[in-house]
Structure 1
Amino acid sequence: MAKSERTAVVLVAAGRGLRAGAGGPKQYRAIGGVPVIFRAMESFSNHPDVALVQPVVNPDDSAMFTAAVKGLRHESPTSGGATRQASVLAGLEALAPHKPDLVLIHDAARPFVSQALISRAIEAASRHSAAIPAIAVNDTVKLIGAAGQIEATPDRARLRIAQTPQSFRFDVILDAHRRAAKDGRSDFTDDAAIAEWAGLTVATFEGDVANMKLTTPEDFVREEARLASQLGDIRTGTGYDVHAFGEGDHVMICGVRVPHSKGFLAHSDGDVGLHALVDAILGALADGDIGSHFPPSDPKWKGASSDQFLKYAIERVTARGGRVANLEVTMICERPKIGPLRDTMRARIAEISGVDISRVAVKATTSERLGFTGREEGIAATASATIRLPWGI
Structure 2
Amino acid sequence: MNIALIFAGGKGTRMGASLPKQFLKINGKEILFHTIDLFQKNKNIDKIYISTIDDYIDHVKEEVEVGKYTKVIDVIGGGDSAQDTIYRLLVRAKKDNPDDSIVLLQDTIYRLLVRAKKDNPDDSIVLLHDGVRPFVAPDVIEKNIEGVKKHGNAITSFPAYETIMVSEDHDVVDDVTVRANTYLGQAPQSFYLKDILDAHEKIRMRPEGYENMVDAATIIRTLGGKTHLVMGNRGNLKITTPEDVYTFRAFLQYKEDKETFGLGL
Question: Which residue does the alignment assign to 1:75?
Answer: 73
2: CA distance, partners of 1:156 / 1:112: 25
Secondary structure of residue in 1 paired with 2:128: strand
Alpha-carbon distance in structure 2 between the residues aligned to 1:54 and 1:39: 15
2:74, 2:255 → 1: CA distance? 34
Contact 1:28 / 1:68 at 8 angstroms: preserved in 2? Answer: no
> Contact (CA 8 Å) 1:132, 1:165: kept in 2 or not?
yes
Query: Are 1:127 and 2:150 matched, yes or no?
Result: yes
Residue correspondences, number:
233
1:204 corresponds to 2:229: yes
Asked if the contact 2:154–2:189 (Cα under 8 Å) also holds between the matched residues in 1, the reply is yes
Give the structure-2-normalised TM-score. Answer: 0.82
Judged with a 3 Å threshold, the aligned counterparts in structure 2 of structure 1 residues 150 and 179 are, in CA distance, closer, same or farther, namely: same
Contact 2:24-2:31 at 8 Å conserved across structures: yes
* Residue 250 (structure 2) pairs with residue 225 (structure 1): yes
Higher strand share: 1
Is contact 1:130–1:195 with CA below 8 Å preserved after alignment? no
Give 1:85's aligned amino acid: Q
Deviation at 1:169, TM superposition (A): 1.3
How far is 1:229 from its partner? 4.9
When the two structures are superposed, what TM-score results if normalisation uses the length of structure 1?
Answer: 0.56
Change (3 A) 1:24 1:178: same
Structure 1 or 2, whichever has the larger Rg, is 1
Q: Between the two proteins, what is the percent identity of the paired residues?
A: 27
Q: CA deviation at 1:71?
A: 1.3
Separation in structure 1 between the aligned mates of residue 168 and residue 47 of structure 2, nearest angstrom: 45
Residue of structure 1 equivalent to 2:137: 114
Taking a change above 3 Å as real, the CA distance of residues 19 and 75 of structure 1, as seen in their structure-2 partners, is same
**Counterpart residue identity of residue 39, structure 2:** F
Residue in structure 1 matched with residue 117 of structure 2 by the alignment: none
Do the aligned partners of residues 148 and 23 (structure 1) sit closer, same or farther apart at CA in structure 2, a change above 3 Å counting?
A: same
Task: Call closer, same or farther: CA 1:226–1:112 in 2, change over 3 Å.
Answer: closer
Q: 2: distance between equivalents of 1:216 and 1:20?
A: 5
Task: Kindly report the root-mean-square deviation, in angstroms, between the aligned alpha carbons of the 2 structures.
Answer: 1.9
Contact 1:136 1:159 in 2 (8 A): yes
Query: In the aligned structure 2, how far is the partner of 1:16 from the partner of 1:122?
Result: 30
Cα displacement (A) at 1:204: 0.4
Would you identify which runs of 4 or more consecutive aligned residues in structure 1 move more than 6 Å?
none
For residues 192-216 of structure 1, the C-alpha deviation after alignment (integer angstroms, 9 at most, x for no partner) is 0011112221000111111110000
Greater length-normalized contact order (CA 8 Å, ≥ 6 residues apart): 2
Q: Distance in 1 between matches of 2:9 and 2:40?
A: 19
Maintained 8 Å contact 1:13/1:108:
yes
Q: How does 1:1-393 map to 2 (within 5 A)?
A: 6-69=1-64, 70-72=67-69, 73-97=71-95, 98-101=120-123, 102-146=125-169, 148-183=171-206, 184-187=208-211, 188-231=213-256, 390-392=260-262
Structure 1 unmatched runs, 5+: 1-5, 233-319, 322-389
Distance 1:25 1:13, change over 3 A: same
State the alpha-carbon separation in 2 of the partners of residues 57 and 91 from structure 1.
Answer: 10
Conservation of the 8 A alpha-carbon contact between 1:28 and 1:64: no
- Bigger drift between 37-46 and 188-197 goes to 37-46
Q: Shift of the alpha carbon at 1:225?
A: 3.2
Distance 1:86 1:160 in 2: 25
Residue aligned with 1:75, SS: strand
Deviation at 1:221, TM superposition (A): 1.8
CA distance in 1, matches of 2:43, 2:214: 30
User: Secondary structure at the residue paired with 1:205?
Assistant: strand
Deviation at 1:68? 3.7
CA offset digits 1:17-38 (Å, max 9, x no partner): 1112214111111122221111
